[in-house]
């Protein structure tokens, strides 16, 4: 979790509190532009912290990954508690 930025922590906190998060909500929650929020969301998916909720278009969102999701990050495999 130390590798996460403050923006990414805010995005995860919002997703935890609300149950899901969209790109627009991530931008608003983190104070970032939508493009930056989209990159943060993509990174959080890549490291296994969020998963897409299956919706598409403007309704597309993300939910927290299951606890103890196994991921391979830049430093190799690790177990990340959600």
13-46, pLDDT tens digit by residue? 999 999 999 999 999 999 999 999 999 999 999 9
Cα 37 to Cα 8, 27, 70, 79: the distances in Å are 8, 5, 24, 24
Do 30 and 10 meet the contact criterion of CB atoms below 8 Å apart?
Answer: yes
Mean pLDDT of 70-75: 48
Say what the pTM is. Answer: 0.77
Distance CA 63, CA 52 (A): 6
Band (pLDDT 50/70/90 cuts) for residue 49 is: very high
Band (pLDDT 50/70/90 cuts) for residue 68 is: low
Residue 38: CB atoms within 10 A of its CB come to 14
């Amino acid at each position: 979790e130390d590798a996460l930025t403050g923006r990414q922590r805010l995005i995860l906190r919002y997703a935890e509190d609300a149950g899901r998060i969209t790109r627009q909500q991530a931008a608003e929650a983190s104070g970032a532009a939508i493009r930056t929020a989209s990159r943060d969301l993509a990174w959080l998916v890549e490291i296994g912290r969020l998963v897409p909720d299956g919706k598409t278009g403007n309704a597309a969102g993300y939910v927290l990954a299951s606890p103890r999701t196994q991921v391979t990050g830049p430093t190799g495999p690790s177990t990340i508690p959600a």
